[in-house]
Structure 1
Amino acid sequence: MIARGERKLSLKGDVIIVEDDDLLCNLMIEILSDIGVGCIAFGTADDALIYLLQSHRACTMVIADHSVPWQISGSDLAKMVKEKWPDIAVILTSGHELNASKLPPKVWFLQKPWAVDSLVSTVDGLLNPSS
């Protein structure tokens, strides 16, 4: 497991964060920036999906809160991402327990409140599976 600031990840794209809690969103951006991850944040899954469909920038991971507001939930976004872009790693977060059998295939679940080390090790493990 890597500690904050101990190791930098080199990625070929950004991590998209979908979180409607500004404090938590900013915390994730700070944590991931500390390990060298570029982040783009959205308050709704709808906005994140539009960005993914229209952007020509590479995306390596999506971290989405299960219950963000608007029309598309974080779970819906996770499913759409895995169907259209199967190589993009996806982490779904929630303050509620989610049934693992209801998660889209190859989507990781991170229970809130998560520890900083849990977020970092999950991101690192998905983006660097051989390390």
Structure 2
Amino acid sequence: MISDATGYEPITGKVVIVEDDALMQSILVDMFMDLGADCEAFVTADDALIHLMQSRTVCALLVTDYTLPGQLDGRELACMVRQRWPEMPVIVTTGYGSEVGKDLPPGVAFLQKPWSIDLMVNTASGLMSGFSTP
């Protein structure tokens, strides 16, 4: 995905990706793995939340689509994550309009699709620069 990752800061730790589009999910996983992250990918926010609550590893970053199948959408997942793990960096993406970004909790980054790899990596790096695992 990223043919030469030397221009980017490494992204380490576990990145949880929630994306129901298989191609977009694959792009995100490949991109973050190329930068050094360990990725877990889910199709629904419900499954991702269960994983986060059961995991013994602190998640370094959550990237979620806004519109997802299941009970929870990406906004609800972002709200729950910010309540339970307020220091966890969160990025919400969508192709359905920038007004979605106005409805997110403080500290959650919003990226309108289609985003560039540079924008995603720089946003993730910026959010994670203040993140530390206990």
Residues 75 and 103 in structure 1, CA contact (< 8 A), matched pair in contact too: yes
Q: Offset of 1:5 from its aligned partner?
A: 0.6
Q: How does 1:75-90 map to 2 (within 5 A)?
A: 75-90=75-90
Counterpart amino acid of residue 89 in structure 2 = A
**Residue 118 of structure 2 corresponds to residue 117 of structure 1:** yes
8 Å Cα contact 2:11/2:32 also seen in 1: no
Cα distance, 1:53–1:27 mapped onto 2, change above 3 Å: same
User: For the residues of structure 2 that align with 1:42 and 1:98, how far apart are their CA atoms?
Assistant: 23
User: 1:104, CA displacement in angstroms?
Assistant: 1.0
Aligned to 2:40, the other structure's residue is in SS state: strand
- Residue 68 of structure 2 corresponds to 68
Structure 2 Cα separation of the partners of residues 67 and 10 of structure 1: 26
Contact residue 11 and residue 125 of structure 2 kept, 8 A? no
Tell me if the contact between 1:59 and 1:88 (Cα under 8 Å) persists in the aligned partners.
yes
How far 1:62 sits from its partner (Å)?
A: 0.5
What does residue range 1-131 of structure 1 map to in structure 2 within 5 Å?
A: 5-6=5-6, 7-9=8-10, 11=12, 13-99=13-99, 100-128=101-129
TM-score (norm 1): 0.89
- Give 1:10 deviation, angstroms: 5.2
- Residues 9 and 125 of structure 2 are in contact (CA less than 8 Å); yes or no, is this contact kept in structure 1? no
- 1:36/1:44 Cα in 2 relative to 1: closer, same or farther (>3 Å)? same
For residues 19 and 39 of structure 2, the distance between their equivalents in structure 1, rounded to whole angstroms, comes to 12
- Provide the secondary structure at the position in 1 that maps to 2:80: helix
